[in-house]
Amino acid sequence: MTAPWKFTAREIVEKPDLFTSGHRACAGCGPAIALRQIMKATRGPTIVTNATGCMEVVSTIYPYTAWKVPWIHTAFENVAANASGIEAALKVLKRKGKLEHKNVDVIAFAGDGGTFDIGLQALSGAAERGHDFLYVLYDNEAYMNTGIQRSGGTPHGASTTTSPGGKVIPGKPQFKKPIANIMVAHEIPYVATASISFWQDLIIKTRRGLEVKGPAFLHVFAPCPRGWRYHTSKTIEISRLAVETCVFPLWEAKYGEYSLSPQSKVVALKPERKKPVKEYLEVQRRFGHLFKPGFRNVIDEIQNITDKRWNQLLKKCNIT
């Protein structure tokens, strides 16, 4: 075991960006913040592979690239397979003595479409084979890059272009897939959820994911001003609200052992601090139709599913 990573805010801020300025994400982009923060937590030579998605499109518009590390684009469905290949190639080079670095980290980035829906089988396979890489899911809860279509990661009641909230349906009728729990069920060494509003927590978890031997999975909550319909300045505020309302609790699971992260533990120990989901819903216009007469019961449904999943999580963390 290596000693836990210690850092000061100043060291992190002074560390040069590996995901640089000049990328063409929308103003106030949540995933771009996530990528900047995550790339601040690298510990040495790193290879990044990126599934198709917002962050692939905005960071490498030919001939420009925002990446200061070796980076490879791959199709929507196979980023985990690609990362497996990179890791296997590194292993062979090391065995043949052709690798000058002692250690090279592999990070795979994918959005919610590339993870919840299209890339799940490649991810599941790579996790089962036990490749040593970190898989980062930046979750903006729909296919934003192609025009806000619903994905497996879109929450119940959210209006998207393929699940429009109107007179007939209250936005997406189904619930969000609990992807991080699915990854814990693969019995991999490290699974964690993180939010861009708590950057220290996010980069500590990134580093843990890199340090661990074997596959690691990081689910990062990254709001999208364009698709969620809120003002660009509220990105961090909304991601903080998601943690405070327990819509997106922060936890980590090492070898299947769940533990709550400090930001969510505060809410668990002092239940009066838990905010109602209404506060989280009313600041986003994708939930705007729920506040008109007709679909009011959907807000209760969202509160119920949030409470149910929160209580299940508390049980897993042995907090009652």
Partner 1 sequence: MGQKASGWKEIPIAGVCWRPSTEYQTGDWRTFRPIHDSNKCTKCLLCPMVCPDGAIKWNAETENIEFAYAFCKGCGICANECPVDAIQMVREGEEV
- In the complex, the smallest distance separating the C-beta of residue 110 from partner 1, rounded to whole angstroms, is 19
- In the complex, the smallest distance separating the C-beta of residue 124 from partner 1, rounded to whole angstroms, is 28
Residue among 61 and 185 whose Cβ is closer to partner 1:
61
- Interstrand relation of 216-221 and 71-74 (parallel, antiparallel or unpaired): unpaired
Residue 91, φ and ψ in degrees, nearest 5:
-60, -45
Give helix 199-211 / helix 30-39 axis angle, nearest 10°: 50
Binding site for partner 1 (CB under 8 A): 9-10, 12-14, 17, 19-30, 32-33, 36-37, 59-66, 73, 196, 199, 225, 231-237
- In the complex, the smallest distance separating the C-beta of residue 152 from partner 1, rounded to whole angstroms, is 25
Residue among 27 and 88 whose Cβ is closer to partner 1:
27
Contacts of 50 (CB under 8 A, 6+ apart): 56, 59, 71, 72, 73, 74, 79, 108, 109, 110
Cα gap 314→320, rounded to integer Å? 6
In Å, how far are 59, 81, 308 from 34, measured between CA atoms?
Answer: 13, 23, 28
Residue among 62 and 97 whose Cβ is closer to partner 1:
62
For residue 56, the tally of other CB atoms under 10 A from its CB is: 21
- In the complex, the smallest distance separating the C-beta of residue 111 from partner 1, rounded to whole angstroms, is 15
Residue among 23 and 172 whose Cβ is closer to partner 1:
23
Cα gap 320→317, rounded to integer Å? 9
Residue among 21 and 320 whose Cβ is closer to partner 1:
21
Let me know: does 13 contact 36? Beta carbons within 8 Å. no
Nearest to 182 by CA among 254, 106, 130, 123: 123
- In the complex, the smallest distance separating the C-beta of residue 207 from partner 1, rounded to whole angstroms, is 15
Residue among 117 and 237 whose Cβ is closer to partner 1:
237
Cα gap 133→105, rounded to integer Å? 7
Residue among 40 and 286 whose Cβ is closer to partner 1:
40
- In the complex, the smallest distance separating the C-beta of residue 292 from partner 1, rounded to whole angstroms, is 27
- In the complex, the smallest distance separating the C-beta of residue 109 from partner 1, rounded to whole angstroms, is 15
